[in-house]
Amino acid sequence: MDLKLPLRCQEKLAFLKNTYDFPSIEAADSFLADVKILSDVGEFHHYDSYSMAPLKASGSDFSTASPVSLTFFVQTHSAISEGDKKPGVTIRDVRPEATDIDLILAPQPQPLNPPHNLKPLKVFLPQLSSTSIKMVQEQATSLSELLHNNAPPNNLDLSIIKARSEAMAKRIAELQDELKNLEHQLHLHKCVFSPARRIPTEILTMIFDFASAEPPWFSYDDIWERDTKSLSTIPLVCKRWRDVAYDAGKLWAVQKVDIPKLTQKQCDSLLRWYCRSKGTPKTLAFKIPYEVKAKPCECYKETGGPYLCSNVVLQRILGEGAPFSRISIAHFTPTCFKNIVRYIKSTEGTNGITTTATSTSQHWWDKVHKLVLDFHYGSANENDPYWLQSQLPVHSIFTSFPDSLISLSLHLPNLEKQSHRKVLEIPPAVLRKLITFSLSYTWGGPQFLTALQHCINVEDLSLHLGDTGSANLGNQINVTSLSQDHIVLPKVKSLLLRIKGASAVVKHIGVLRFPGLVKLCIKSEYEYKNPQPYSNILQAIGLFSPTASQDFESLGVVGYINSDDLYNLLGSLTSPLTHLATDATFDPREFLKLALDAPTGTPNLLPSLQSLEVRHFPCKYHLDSLFLYIKSRQKHGKQKGKVVMKAPYDRLKWVMLKMGSSSDVKKAYDKESATLRMLRESFGIKVDRMEYHHYIDSKTSV
């Protein structure tokens, strides 16, 4: 049959030709089906045409078993010029068993142009059908055509692209794994430069202390608790943080428990934490939860128990966790306290060994430095006969106080509906040793003064006083005769007053004097019949007197106060006050009016004031009136268009405003009124804002 060669080359392009011999047509036909041609200029090709002819040696008898000569014609790029080396042809066997074998055939001399006299070859195959000689039906499309010119792929193209894609995907996965490892190593290297790595251990310990600390529930208690969740998370960050945290004994030395909720498993964890205290004085705070459904301890009934104050888990902590330096007991009764102390003294601290009568060593209970007793809440306290009946001094709970006690917080119950005794029979020897004393006494009457007259060494004093109007079983018992007109507490530097019913309390606290007072914080409940309770209280304790302490420099006003009461108070103080903190409960417009209406020549309120703190703003507080008052304190004029300060110069240079982030007052602050801008730019007063946290600020301010 005649086979016309499909010549698709153009004459202007270079043309390659290679001839190969095969033993039979069948071998040549198989080769044609399984190969593709590749020019060595870098691009894949199928052959463009071929011819098959019998070898000369076989003569004219051309059968299927006769050897044949197979010639390929391959079109190449026109970029090949005469000066280039002559291109060669690579025949790649693409059969599965030989996909990686390349036979590089040396180029044969070829003309630069394809033969023009190439004629169709007549091949006589009398024993073969027309399908015996297979023409390659599919050719591999150029890769650039497939990737960049949107050429349609055939089956061969798809198989090639699939193989290449799988190879690339495998390589990408390998590179991604390598990249991931390199990125991890890079991160580790960069971490070496982190400033956190160079934080000194002492500073890191302070950060941990701040992050895990929780303010006490009551303002009278200075025992800050620990957030167990935060404290458990800190050691999990890294080895150094774990080492620093475990070496900081004070982080683990304070624990609080609720009785009877504490389980033996929780007790195990608590005791492990105590073991990390490393000699730091340990603190234990335990209480009965003040809940409606919580059952109080009724050991005072003496019914045989079991009682909460003799809880086995509590006894285990007191036995295995000892010694303790500070103990806080809340919502138990006086009878509970006596039972707990009795149990403590029956043990030898950490191992529960019973003490002997011949033991001369001091028990750890007598080495306790701080004791907090809170009898405020609970129906059991209202029914405990200790408060409701007269007691012999030998039965007093105060005789059980530790010998080394230097800090005492005592908070008596609110017995408004029952007659009770009002005498505090705390031994004078205990009171004389105290440096810190906090007392809540709302029973009315002057009996609390029997204790205060002995507090000659107290430096930090907190008094919560009130008058409930209940009957007094001890009316015939008066305050010990005073040698002078006043009870002088010479060492008190910090004083906290919380007054309920100022008109009734003033006549009693008026005998107190504090000649060394440095800091005072006061809160008084509003009384309709007493419009100026704050001024009356400060006047009663002698702070309006010319003989008042000249060391008095800091005043905090908490709670609702009228503008005229605040103005009168600040104008009557005779001490060189430098710091004032007040709740924003007064009307700033009324306060500004009082200041502007003062006679000409009236000096500024608190002329030595250097810093002002205002907190707890109500929604409708007129902030600009506060700024206008601060501006009115500055004596100034204008010279050449600039503000010029005049004598006497006001010392107020710092104002701190504590407000919520979403309040209207905060929005007014952010707008920066013209008055606020003048305070900052012309008068050099620093006005800052700080977030007000009601839970923390309300407990640390009073």
Give one DSSP letter per residue of 448-494, joined into a string: THHHHTT-TT-SEEEEEEEB----BTTTT--PPPPSSSSEE-TT--E
Calculate the alpha carbon distances from 156 to 138, 163, 165, 687 in Å. Answer: 7, 11, 14, 78
**CA-CA distance, 247 to 235, in Å (whole number)?**
11
DSSP line for 672-683: --HHHHHHHHTS
What is the maximum span of the chain, computed from C-alpha positions, in angstroms?
A: 153
**CA-CA distance, 334 to 397, in Å (whole number)?**
7
- Output DSSP code: residue 602: P
- Six-digit token pair at 368? 């306790």
Report if residue 332 sits inside a domain: no
SS3 435: coil
**CA-CA distance, 448 to 441, in Å (whole number)?**
7
Examine the domain organization and report whether 130 and 207 are in the same domain. no
Residue 72 CB neighbours (<10 A):
20
Q: Answer with the one of 111, 139, 167 that is the final residue of a domain.
A: 139
- Output DSSP code: residue 648: S
**CA-CA distance, 350 to 348, in Å (whole number)?**
6
Report if residue 603 sits inside a domain: yes
Examine the domain organization and report whether 119 and 244 are in the same domain. no
10 Å CB burial of residue 147 (0-12, 13-18, 19+) is exposed
- Output DSSP code: residue 132: S
Cα 574 to chain centroid distance, Å, stands at 44
10 Å CB burial of residue 239 (0-12, 13-18, 19+) is exposed
Calculate the alpha carbon distances from 243 to 194, 195, 206, 276, 630 in Å. Answer: 19, 18, 14, 11, 51
Examine the domain organization and report whether 586 and 680 are in the same domain. yes
Cβ neighbours of residue 273 closer than 8 Å, sequence gap 6 or more: 252, 255
pLDDT for the residue 258: 85
Task: Name the residue among 406, 392, 302, 322 with its Cα closest to residue 364.
Answer: 322
Report if residue 353 sits inside a domain: no
pLDDT for the residue 12: 36
Q: In this structure, is the dihedral angle defined by the CA atoms of residues 128, 132, 133 and 135, taken in order, positive or negative?
A: positive
Report if residue 110 sits inside a domain: yes
Question: How many alpha carbons lie under 13 Å from residue 492 in its C-beta half-sphere?
Answer: 26
DSSP line for 369-419: -EEEEE-SS-HHHHH-HHHHS---GGG-GGGGS-TT--EEEEE-----SS-
Domain that holds residue 114: 2-139
Q: Which residue carries 């105290």 as its tokens?
A: 434
Give the pairing type, strands 636-639 and 642-645: antiparallel
Examine the domain organization and report whether 108 and 206 are in the same domain. no
Report if residue 276 sits inside a domain: no
Residue pair 282/325 in contact by the 8 Å Cβ criterion: yes
Task: Name the residue among 462, 472, 471 with its Cα closest to residue 440.
Answer: 462
Cβ neighbours of residue 563 closer than 8 Å, sequence gap 6 or more: 586, 587, 588, 590, 591, 594
pLDDT for the residue 182: 95
Examine the domain organization and report whether 10 and 134 are in the same domain. yes
Cβ neighbours of residue 167 closer than 8 Å, sequence gap 6 or more: none
Helix and strand element counts for the chain (H, E): 21, 29
**CA-CA distance, 61 to 352, in Å (whole number)?**
120
Q: Answer with the one of 218, 251, 284 that is the final residue of a domain.
A: 251
**CA-CA distance, 333 to 307, in Å (whole number)?**
12
Report if residue 235 sits inside a domain: yes
Residue pair 490/515 in contact by the 8 Å Cβ criterion: yes
- Output DSSP code: residue 195: G
pLDDT for the residue 289: 76
Q: Over the Cα atoms of the chain, what is R_g?
A: 49
204's enclosing H/E stretch is: helix 201-212
Report if residue 90 sits inside a domain: yes
Examine the domain organization and report whether 613 and 692 are in the same domain. yes
- Six-digit token pair at 200? 């000194």
Count of structural domains, the chain: 3
Examine the domain organization and report whether 127 and 16 are in the same domain. yes
Q: In this structure, is the dihedral angle defined by the CA atoms of residues 626, 629, 634 and 638, taken in order, positive or negative?
A: positive
Examine the domain organization and report whether 40 and 126 are in the same domain. yes
Report if residue 74 sits inside a domain: yes
pLDDT for the residue 262: 85
Which segments of the chain have a pLDDT < 50? 1-14, 37-45, 77-136, 292, 350-358, 473-477, 483, 695-696, 698-700
Q: Answer with the one of 92, 117, 139 that is the final residue of a domain.
A: 139
